[in-house]
Amino acid sequence: MNKGTQLMMTAVASLGFLGAATATTQAATWHQGTPTALRGHWKDKTINIGKYFGTENVYSYESVRVRKSSVNVYLTQSRGWGIRNTKWKRVGSNAYTITGISKFTKSSPARFTFKRVGHGYVHVYYNGRNIAKATPFSPYFYRVSKNA
């Protein structure tokens, strides 16, 4: 075999190995629980909602607590809502999706997505909808504590 043929065969073989290696890294993996990068207490900016109810000073905020196997959302001191029996996967370089069973219906599946939008800030989505979109609250959640 001459050197040109050997070079051509080596190039074709290396492209084949490269294609096989990239195809296996594309697969998404589901993990039990919640990602450790998101665990903790997240909160958005406290605002005066008294003007919406005709009073002077009523302050409120939304918060999200990500625990080892659950995600809970609260409005100031409400009972809250969320999911349990969670599993998660990374859906991009700055986003995670966490699925689980809704705590209200106890049987229907639900999904939270956390998307990093800045240093220390995330947007939180519930079943594809931003949880602060139709409210007067800020969509930017910041980490208050790493302990939920």
Residue 65 counted as domain residue: yes
- List pLDDT tens digits, range 99-118: 999 988 888 899 999 999 98
How much is the pTM?
A: 0.75
- List pLDDT tens digits, range 45-68: 988 887 777 777 888 899 999 999
**Which band of pLDDT confidence, cut at 50, 70 and 90, is reported for residue 24?**
very low
CATH at 77:
2.40.128
Domain count, the chain: 1
Mean pLDDT taken over the chain: 83
Segment 15-35 shows an average pLDDT of 64
DSSP line for the chain: --HHHHHHHHHHHHHHHHHHHHHHHT----EES--TTT-EEEE---EE-HHHHT-S--EE-EEEEE-SSEEEEEETTS--EEEEEEEEEEEETTEEEEEEEETTTSSSEEEEEEEEEETTEEEEEETTEETTTTSSS-S-EEEEES--
User: Domain span at residue 94?
Assistant: 35-145
pLDDT computed for residue 141 by the predictor:
94
